Structure 1
């Protein structure tokens, strides 16, 4: 496992600890192997900031790009007993043909003290698009639960603005205006108009791939949060991608167990509901889901992947000062995830009949 070392002025670090909600990045140095990089560092996330083991944003300054990236995320994965759910999910989406951030586990040190195992995740930004040789385009993050493609909030109150829940990562205010137009059409077109117009705004096949991933991994937040919208400048269509998927594979974001049937096969955001109400779009989803249940979301496919990840972590768990798990704990969690896959697969196959 690669070793990452952060060096930061102790006074600056103390100030960060005294104000966990400070978003302004502070100067630091990141050493990876023999290479040293001048960076800016900030805490990231919401719930995780209250935990002892925190997550970080790293923004490269000198050099400005490292391996094609200007920014990376170091996720603590504190509430995930397996430390693997995020990576397992993002790689699963990649297998489905969804643009997904790449990730890898690293061992993090700060000022010489081991902070444990972290998951380095690509930032979904314009630099990642360039690195993947994808067309440039605006990127908008769904940063809270109002990003449900609806005119109403999750509490059924009328939104003051249709861009509620969204934050521009790369782009301008006109890109939010385009998104508002898209959301308005989702909610106001009749079925015939919707079937004709929405493919002019949304890459339907790509959305179906993403929907399959959310449903299979059972990310309760994934339908109205934890995603990025990328407006492909070549196709002129929106594409959707996942991020922060630690609350998956049978547990929620706090690490609590979730039944294999907690999230319905139809999901629960407005866009998904409208798409599945159109026979041709519903058929696309069923075909993709069946193929996934037969080939990807199976024990035969997933068990070797999970075992490899767990085996890579085993030698290092004793170095993480925040972990109370051991090799036996990890083995039990691996069994739990495998059983979830079995049950989720059977549940989704059974529920497919209701959509035919």
Structure 2
């Protein structure tokens, strides 16, 4: 199956480009035009990310002004994927989540030029907002981004009491009153007695969905994604929170700096720094369900046989464009070796998880 990579042309007036560059940490956008398939869109554009803003190749957040929608969305993110030598880890992860029935953003590689200067490959990510819900026919409900490590579902961080239960979260959709749902949820996580935790927590979160998210996070080994880099959506019909992955470039055996992460770095049960994971894994029935989910994934999806064609389809489609990317073309030899690296990681990680499942009860 072929994978087409469209081209986007960004036009920014010199004074607006100068303003954008003047402060890397300013989230206020500047006006620009985006041309896709001959259609022009008036947009607002700003830098996005945290540590990634310091890289030579920067990532962007784009909001569509006129017309207001682009392929059914109001906002997209263009990720530079600067430290991922394969350039496919984020997309590979989101597609993997989707295959396993976990809500996840759509993603698409694109070529970007700015004022007729080629800027190389980017990964376009769908924003997790009300239009994300609308495209999937889901009930409207508040969405909260976990923006830093305070989003650990606990009352404390680094042995210090938090000043607010909402610390670490940023509301992406909803009203001020919706904050009360998140406050109540986090408070319940930390106050429900363990003997009644199984029954009561099921009134606040979709446990099956959360455990599926956990299983994929554990398989792909996203060390960075247990206490931030996720979103919480509260389904207004069920009243339950669901978790949505975000920023999964540091996965499949690579760290956020692109270095190698040992296949056994993330425990099979996830990281205890995520207090909700820790508590769920103390409940026998939840452990049994998690084991069942993980066993199924390891047998059917997290295998070289299943992933190989997905990896190589993306890799082969991207290679001609990597050769033209001014920020990536010098690392083509590393890029060439990445499919083998990822497949070896899958083998090693799968063996590690299967070994530890033997005594997991």
3-state SS of 2:359 partner: helix
- 1:354 aligned partner: 359
Deviation at 1:326, TM superposition (A): 5.4
Quote the residue 2:174 is aligned against: 171
Distance 1:134 1:78 in 2: 33
Instruction: Tell whether 2:210 aligns with 1:210.
Output: no
Partner residue, 2:344: 339
Instruction: State the partner residue of 1:10.
Output: 14
2:288 corresponds, among 271, 278, 283, to 283
Of residues 272, 280, 284 in structure 1, which corresponds to 2:277? 272
Residues 1:88 and 2:92 aligned together = yes
Distance in structure 1 (CA, Å) of the matches to 2:118 and 2:83: 19
Runs of at least 5 residues in structure 2 that lack an aligned partner in the other structure: none
Q: Is the 8 A contact 1:41 1:56 kept in 2?
A: yes
The answer to whether 1:70 aligns with 2:87 is: no
Per the TM alignment, residue 331 of structure 1 is displaced from its structure 2 partner at its CA by 2.5
Q: Distance in 2 between matches of 1:174 and 1:254?
A: 39
Number of equivalenced pairs = 355
Q: How does 1:121-160 map to 2 (within 5 A)?
A: 121-153=125-157, 155-160=158-163
* Equivalent position SS for 1:354: coil
- Answer whether contact 1:147 1:164 (CA < 8 A) is retained: yes
Give the deviation of 1:128 after TM superposition: 1.1
- The CA deviation at 1:324 is 4.1
Match of 2:245 in 1: 242
State the Cα distance separating 1:329 from its structure 2 match.
2.5
Deviations 1:239-294 (A, max 9, x none): 00101100100011111110000000111211011111111111111000000000
| Offset, 1:15 | 2.0
Q: Aligned to 1:319, what secondary structure does the other structure show?
A: coil
TM-score calculated relative to the size of structure 1: 0.98
Taking only aligned residues, the RMSD between alpha carbons, in angstroms, comes to: 1.0
Q: 1:254 aligns with which of 241, 250, 257?
A: 257
Secondary structure of 1:57's counterpart equals strand
In the alignment, the residues of structure 2 paired with residue 43 and residue 171 of structure 1 have an alpha-carbon distance, to the nearest angstrom, of: 24
1:317 partnered with 2:313? no
- Aligned mates of 1:113, 1:98 — CA distance in 2: 38
* Alignment check: 8 A CA contact 1:212 1:289 kept: yes
Work out whether residues 318 and 326 of structure 1, in 8 Å CA contact, stay in contact via their aligned partners in 2: no
Instruction: Please name the residue that 2:114 is paired with.
Output: 110
SS in 2 for 1:23: coil
User: Residues 73 and 121 of structure 1 are in contact (CA less than 8 Å); yes or no, is this contact kept in structure 2?
Assistant: yes
TM-score (norm: length of structure 2): 0.96
| Structure 1 position 305 matched with structure 2 position 313 | no
- Could you tell me how far apart the structure 1 residues matched to 2:43 and 2:25 are? 19
Cα shift readout 1:296-340 (whole Å, capped 9, x = no counterpart): 000000111000000010111122111144554323111111100
Unaligned stretches of 5+ residues in structure 1:
none
The reply to whether residue 28 of structure 1 matches residue 41 of structure 2 is no
